[in-house]
Structure 1
Amino acid sequence: MTFIRKLWAFGIQQALSCIFPVIIFATLALTKYIEVPGLARYDLILIICLLAQIGMVVFKLETWDELKVICVFHVIGLMLELYKVHMGSWSYPEEGWSKVGGVPLYSGFMYASVASYICQSWRRMNLRITGWPLPMLTVLISAAIYANFFTHHYIWDFRWVLTALLFIVFFRTVVHFDVQGTTYRMPLTLSFLLIGFFIWIAENISTFLGAWTYPGQEKTWSLVHIGKISSWFLLVVISVIIVAQLKHLKMGIGGKRKEAPKGTVL
C-alpha cells in the first residue's frame, strides 16, 4: 500500500507539473473541432497560449524566474522551427496571420511547455543533481547537439556519437527527488530517455490533432517514426542542461546556495 500511495503522489506531482502542456493539448483538440468566425486556428491557438502563460504567472503557478527560462526556450524553439520548416522536415499547412516564414508563433509554446514541465518538476519535487560534469563539458555538448539539428541536413548525422558522449559525460550524474518526504534517485540519462519517450507520445497526439504535419502525414495521419525519440532525448538534454546551469548561476549570484555535496546542482 505504501508503494501505491507513493506512486499516486508521484503521479499527482507529475500531473501538476504538466499544467501548461495539458492546456496546449486541450487547445489543439478544441480548435480542431471548434472554429471562431474570422479567426484562423493558428491565431486562436496563439491567443490562448498567451493568455495561459499570463495566467500561469498571475496565479503563481510559475515564478518570474521560471518565465525567463521559458522565454529562452521560445527563442531556441522558434529558431529551430524556422530552419526545419524551411528544410521541409515538417510543415504547418493551415493559414494564419501569426505565421512567420511558414511557422506559426504558437509553435514556440510547445518547446516552452517542455521547459515549464522541467522547471515545475524541479520545484515541486525538490530536484537535486549530484555528480554534475564540468560546466564546460555540458555547454559544449549542448551546443553540439543543437548545432547537429541544423548541420545533419548537409553533413553526417552525429546524433549517435553525441548520445554515446552523453552517457560517458553523465555516467556518474544522478537526480534525487522527493515524494511525500522520501527521497528517490535515478540516473540522469534515464530521466532524459523517459521524458523524451513521453514527448514522443505527445508528439503523436499533436500531429493527430493537426499541430503540424510530417511528410507522409498530409493525407492520412500515421504514427511518428519511433526514431524521433532520439531527437527528443537530445532536446531534453539541452533543456535540462540550460535549466540546471541557470539555477546554478542564480544560486551562486544570490548567495543562497544550500549546503550540498560537491558536484550538486540545486
Structure 2
Amino acid sequence: MNFQQKLDQFLITPPSIPDLRGWKRFCVEFLFFGIKEARSCLFVGLFFLSIFIVPKSGIWIIPRYDALLIIAITIQLWMVFTKLETWDELKAVMLFHIVGFALEVFKTSANIHSWSYPDFAYTKFLNVPLFSGFMYAAIGSYIIQAWRLLDVKIYHHPPYIFAVIISLLIYINFFTHHFLGDYRWYIAATVLGLYARTTVIFTPYDRERKMPLLLAFILIGFFIWLAENISTFFGIWKYPNQITSWSMVHTGKWSSWALLVIMTFTITVFLKHIKKTVYVPQ
C-alpha cells in the first residue's frame, strides 16, 4: 500500500477523538473536510498547476498545448496505476473528455467563435488542442473522488429519466442557443424544481452532515469560474473581449458552469458503485 492509498484509508476511517465538541469539533471537521477536498482535487490541482508552470513558449521543442496534453495523460495514468482511480472511473473520466471536447470544437468553430486557442500545437484537431477535454474530465474526476472520500449519499434525487432529460437539454442548449435562442434560465428554473428537495449527505470526519444539492452545484460552478479566470489570464484560451488585454470572465459563465456540473453529476450517478448511494423517492 503506497502513501496515497494510506492517506485515503486514513481520511475515510480517521482515528476517533474522545469528547470532541464545540469549536474543537468544528476545527477538526473543517480540517478533515479541507484535506478531503484537496485530495479530491488531486487531478484538478496538478493539471492546473501545470498550466501555471509551463511557459507560453513551451518546454524545449514541445509547444505549450502539447506539453499540457502529455502532462494530463501522465497524471491520469499515474492515478490509475497507483490505484487512486479505478479503470471504471477512468472510463467515466474519458467520457467527460469526449463530451467536453465536442463542445470545444463547436464553440471555437469559425461560425461561432465563442473563444479561441491562439497558440500553435501539433495535437490540435479542428483548431482545438486535445488537452482541452481534460479540463472537463477534471470536473468528473473531482466528483468521483469526493464521492468516495466524503462517503456521499444523495436523498430525494429526482427520477433518473427526468435527470437525464434535463442534462441532455443543458448540453443541447450550449449548441442551439446560437441559432434558436438561449433557454438557459428556463432550464435552470426546471432544475430548481427537480432538485428542490434533493439533499447531499457527506462525512467530513465521523458524523454525517448535509446540504442542499443545488447549493453544491452552485459552489462547484463558482470555483470552476474562478479557474477559468485564472486560465484566461495565463492565455490558455481567450474570449473575443480578451484578445487585446485580459478582462474578467463574465459572471454569466458561472451559471453555465453550474449547469455543466449538473450534467457531469448525472453521468457520474450512473457509475455502478455510486448509484447504490442515490435514493430516489418512489
Whether the TM-score (by the shorter chain) exceeds 0.5 is yes
How far apart in 2 are the matches of 1:53 and 1:153? 34
Q: CA deviation at 1:159?
A: 0.5
> What is the identity, as a one-letter code, of the residue corresponding to 2:105?
L
The equivalent residue for 1:13 is: 36
Aligned length: 256
The equivalent residue for 1:226 is: 251
Of 130, 134, 137, 1:109 maps to 134
The equivalent residue for 1:177 is: 202
Of 136, 160, 164, 1:139 maps to 164
The equivalent residue for 1:97 is: 122
Q: CA deviation at 1:59?
A: 1.2
Secondary structure of 1:228's aligned partner: helix
Q: CA deviation at 1:240?
A: 0.6
CA RMSD of superposed structures (Å): 1.6
1:263 equivalent in alignment to 2:280: yes
The equivalent residue for 2:47 is: 24
Question: Sequence identity, in percent?
Answer: 45
Is contact 2:56–2:64 with CA below 8 Å preserved after alignment? no
1:164-211, Cα deviation, whole Å (9 max, x unpaired)? 000101111111001111100111111000000011011111111222
How far apart in 2 are the matches of 1:84 and 1:251? 32
1:97-127, Cα deviation, whole Å (9 max, x unpaired)? 0001110000011000000000000000000
The equivalent residue for 2:145 is: 120
Q: CA deviation at 1:215?
A: 0.9
> What is the identity, as a one-letter code, of the residue corresponding to 1:183?
E
Q: CA deviation at 1:77?
A: 0.5
Change (3 A) 1:83 1:189: same
Of 202, 205, 211, 2:236 maps to 211
How far apart in 1 are the matches of 2:57 and 2:78? 22
The equivalent residue for 1:80 is: 103
How far apart in 2 are the matches of 1:210 and 1:80? 20
Is contact 1:125–1:177 with CA below 8 Å preserved after alignment? yes
Q: CA deviation at 1:31?
A: 1.1
> What is the identity, as a one-letter code, of the residue corresponding to 1:263?
V
Secondary structure of 1:180's aligned partner: coil
Is contact 1:28–1:210 with CA below 8 Å preserved after alignment? no
TM-score, structure 2 normalization: 0.87
Change (3 A) 1:251 1:208: closer
Change (3 A) 1:193 1:104: same
Q: CA deviation at 1:219?
A: 1.9
1:132-160, Cα deviation, whole Å (9 max, x unpaired)? 11111011100000000000000110100
The equivalent residue for 2:62 is: 39
Q: CA deviation at 1:35?
A: 3.5
TM-score, structure 1 normalization: 0.92
Is contact 1:32–1:209 with CA below 8 Å preserved after alignment? no
How far apart in 1 are the matches of 2:226 and 2:204? 25
Secondary structure of 1:91's aligned partner: coil
> What is the identity, as a one-letter code, of the residue corresponding to 1:4?
C
How far apart in 1 are the matches of 2:89 and 2:122? 29
List gaps (5 residues or longer) in structure 1: none
> What is the identity, as a one-letter code, of the residue corresponding to 2:243?
E
How far apart in 1 are the matches of 2:212 and 2:92? 24
Is contact 2:200–2:210 with CA below 8 Å preserved after alignment? yes
Is contact 1:132–1:263 with CA below 8 Å preserved after alignment? yes
Change (3 A) 1:207 1:69: same
Is contact 1:85–1:102 with CA below 8 Å preserved after alignment? yes
Q: CA deviation at 1:33?
A: 5.8
